[in-house]
């Protein structure tokens, strides 16, 4: 029985992985659905071969006695039906004698193994499968499902069979599009480099024979993320597919053609923010660049502190960030002090920071409180601030302007021998993230690309979303609003551009400034 031959490379790497969790995908047309729908045949082939063993062999399996069961999930019935139609064309040819039940949406193979199909359109539809035991679970387009649905189905991946219990698989494929991009990226993409197996230690529920939860235990689970592009699917035409996507937005092209998890279609800054441009490698900040910090305070929610440097053209560079939860004002101030002392940004003799910057103006409120305000508490420790300018529409506009702005690079030249206009008005070091327990990572480079727009006012971000890193960055932008200074001369006039840059440099602290080691 030859069910499917994976192409060498990504497909083969995915189908040979023996850990519990594996995610395949990224770009569209990488052959995800084909790989997924044939993956259970690894178990089916083994279960079939067990029938040929001597009857006294400990792994002998009588015909039709397999307890193996896999299930293939799509979010909606129309999507699932398309996959089932493909299977009708293949399964009977691969395994003569296989039986189909339309009522249960289940194929039963001669060895007894059951291959089911299911959908979970509503959040709580995982309950339809409560009580089942699966030896393999497959999610096609995982980002269309919720984390709760994935975790509940995962809890029913178990078997008492001596062979199957050692090959329990959760397999998934997806493009970086959909409601679940955030949690899938956190759990599969950010946790380790691509194609790198990693061990996760997690708590799992322990069940008795009546399927009742009787406790928890910590277990080790091996997982991998295998990225795939259209080039990995030898059955597809990458040239034609690339041409098809050429007219789409940058975000869609990045997601579906390159499999990028950082370009999110429908995000608030989907057209303006390009992680390849706005998240740069760290470089040494020149000593004469002006530095300041910005902050958005929260306790149950996140507090976001970002440290900024200003170059000769007025561009902002976030060279450090800290995004934390469950920190009182005093705790946060001491964390800031610790960081700034290590970076020589603290005046030891005066017992205070050398920096200041905008903080959420609500931190000066004292109504309903006893004692000093949040801002005053931090000031007493030596962490000074000033009130931010709070105007969500103006702040969003300033952020957009800075994301779209480009200044001349000091050393890189274009074909016309003029400086490349490639330095953005705002950017972050790609190290601007913070470990966040179960959530994996948080911070500007994590939250800004997936920040959604407000459904009732699409000109501003959604205030119910994780917008604390955005708020902190927007306060920085509002503290140094862009002026229409560059309108004095066309940007392609290099003499005028240099005059403007010299003017800005002379007005900045320390005079002319360079960009060592950015690219």
pLDDT at position 515 is 36
pLDDT at position 429 is 97
Name the pTM for this structure: 0.59
CA 412 to chain centre: 31
Q: List the single range of 168-182, 328-342, 501-515 with lowest mean pLDDT.
A: 501-515
For 10-232, CATH gives 3.40.50.300
Cα distance between the two ends of the chain: 53
312, with CB counted inside 10 A (0-12, 13-18, 19+), is buried
pLDDT at position 69 is 97
pLDDT at position 451 is 85
pLDDT grade for 487, boundaries at 50, 70 and 90:
very low
pLDDT grade for 210, boundaries at 50, 70 and 90:
confident
pLDDT at position 485 is 47
pLDDT at position 28 is 58
Mean pLDDT of the chain: 84
Which of 129, 437, 447 is closest to 273 using CA atoms?
Answer: 447
**Spatial distance between the Cα atoms of 31 and 83, rounded to a whole number of angstroms:** 13
CB neighbours of residue 419 within 10 Å: 19
pLDDT in tens, 337-355: 999 999 999 999 999 999 9
pLDDT at position 149 is 93
Q: Do 101 and 108 touch, CB atoms closer than 8 A? A: yes
> What residue ranges of the chain are covered by domains with CATH 3.30.420.280?
279-507
E-strand stretches of 270-349 = 279-280, 290-296, 303-310, 316-324, 346-347
Instruction: Report residue 12 as tokens.
Output: 């083969």
∠ Cα 492 428 280 (to 5°): 70
Q: Which fold has domain 279-507?
A: Nucleotidyltransferase; domain 5 (3.30.420)
**Spatial distance between the Cα atoms of 17 and 319, rounded to a whole number of angstroms:** 39
pLDDT at position 95 is 87
Helices H, strands E: what count in the chain?
15, 22
CA 272 to chain centre: 18
pLDDT in tens, 410-449: 888 778 888 888 899 999 999 999 887 655 688 999 889 8
Q: List the single range of 135-144, 268-277, 412-421 with lowest mean pLDDT.
A: 412-421
H or E segment and range at residue 117? strand 114-119
Percentage of the chain exceeding pLDDT 70: 83
pLDDT at position 489 is 37
**Spatial distance between the Cα atoms of 246 and 253, rounded to a whole number of angstroms:** 7
**Spatial distance between the Cα atoms of 227 and 189, rounded to a whole number of angstroms:** 9
**Spatial distance between the Cα atoms of 57 and 53, rounded to a whole number of angstroms:** 6
pLDDT at position 244 is 55
Which of 18, 19, 15 is closest to 4 using CA atoms?
Answer: 15
> What residue ranges of the chain are covered by domains with CATH 3.40.50.300?
10-232
155, with CB counted inside 10 A (0-12, 13-18, 19+), is middle
**Spatial distance between the Cα atoms of 102 and 111, rounded to a whole number of angstroms:** 19
pLDDT at position 205 is 74
pLDDT at 499 over 50: no
pLDDT grade for 501, boundaries at 50, 70 and 90:
very low
4, with CB counted inside 10 A (0-12, 13-18, 19+), is middle
- Range with the largest mean pLDDT of 211-225, 243-257, 372-386: 372-386
Percentage of the chain exceeding pLDDT 90: 55
DSSP assignment of 235-261 equals TS-HHHHHHHHTTS-HHHHHHHHH--S
pLDDT at 79 over 80: yes
472 SS3 class: helix
pLDDT at 93 over 90: no
pLDDT at position 88 is 86
Q: Do 3 and 94 touch, CB atoms closer than 8 A? A: yes
pLDDT at 30 over 90: no
Cβ contacts of residue 50 below 8 Å, gap of 6+?
59, 60, 61, 66, 111, 163
H-type alpha helices, 284-410: 329-342, 374-381, 392-404
pLDDT at position 237 is 55
114, 117, 123, 124 alpha-carbon torsion, rounded to 10°: -40
pLDDT at position 262 is 64
pLDDT at 375 over 80: yes
pLDDT at 241 over 90: no
pLDDT at position 507 is 41
pLDDT in tens, 275-330: 889 999 999 999 999 999 999 999 988 899 999 999 999 999 999 999 999 999 99
């Amino acid at each position: 029985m030859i069910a499917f031959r994976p192409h060498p490379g990504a497909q083969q790497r995915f189908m040979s992985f023996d850990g519990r969790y594996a995610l395949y995908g990224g770009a569209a047309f990488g052959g995800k659905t084909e790989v997924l729908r044939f993956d259970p045949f690894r178990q089916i082939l083994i279960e079939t071969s067990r029938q040929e063993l001597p009857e006294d062999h400990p792994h002998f399996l009588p015909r039709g006695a397999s307890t193996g069961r896999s299930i293939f999930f799509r979010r909606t019935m129309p999507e699932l039906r398309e996959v089932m139609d493909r299977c009708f064309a293949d399964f009977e040819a691969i395994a003569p004698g296989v039986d189909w039940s339309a009522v249960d949406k289940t194929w039963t193979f001669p060895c007894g193994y059951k291959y089911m199909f299911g959908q979970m359109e509503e959040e709580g539809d995982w309950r339809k499968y409560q009580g089942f035991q699966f030896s393999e679970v497959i999610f096609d387009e995982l980002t269309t499902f919720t984390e709760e649905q994935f975790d509940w189905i995962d809890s029913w991946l178990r078997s008492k069979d001596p062979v199957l219990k050692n090959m329990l698989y959760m397999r998934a494929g997806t493009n970086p599009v959909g409601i679940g991009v955030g949690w899938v990226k956190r759990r599969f993409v950010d946790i380790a480099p691509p194609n790198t197996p990693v061990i996760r230690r997690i708590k799992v529920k322990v069940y008795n024979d009546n399927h009742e939860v009787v406790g928890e235990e910590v277990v080790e689970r091996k997982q991998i993320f295998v990225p795939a592009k259209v080039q990995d699917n030898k059955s597809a035409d990458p040239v034609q597919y690339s041409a098809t996507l050429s007219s789409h937005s940058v975000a869609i092209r990045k997601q579906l053609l390159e499999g990028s998890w950082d370009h999110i279609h429908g995000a608030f800054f989907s057209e303006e923010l390009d992680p390849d441009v706005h998240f740069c490698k760290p470089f040494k900040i020149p000593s004469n660049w002006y530095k300041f910090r910005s902050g958005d305070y929260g306790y149950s929610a996140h507090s976001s502190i970002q440290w900024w440097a200003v170059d000769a053209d007025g561009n902002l560079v976030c060279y450090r960030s800290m995004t934390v939860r469950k920190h009182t004002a005093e705790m946060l101030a001491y964390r800031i002090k610790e960081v700034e002392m290590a970076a020589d940004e603290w005046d030891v003799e005066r017992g205070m920071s050398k920096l200041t910057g905008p903080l959420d103006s609500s931190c000066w409120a004292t109504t309903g409180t006893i004692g000093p305000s949040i801002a005053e508490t931090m000031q007493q420790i030596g962490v000074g601030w000033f009130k931010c300018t709070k105007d969500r529409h103006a702040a969003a506009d300033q952020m957009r302007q800075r994301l779209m702005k480009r200044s001349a690079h000091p050393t890189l030249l274009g074909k016309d021998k003029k400086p490349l206009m490639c330095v953005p008005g705002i950017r972050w070091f790609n190290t601007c993230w913070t470990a966040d327990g179960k959530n994996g990572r948080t911070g500007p480079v994590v939250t800004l690309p997936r920040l959604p727009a407000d459904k009732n006012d699409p000109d501003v971000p959604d205030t119910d979303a994780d917008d604390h890193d955005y708020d902190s960055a927007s306060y920085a932008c509002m503290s140094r609003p862009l002026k229409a200074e560059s309108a004095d001369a066309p940007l392609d006039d290099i003499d005028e551009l240099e005059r403007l840059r010299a003017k800005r440099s002379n007005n900045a602290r320390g005079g002319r400034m360079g960009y060592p080691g950015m690219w």
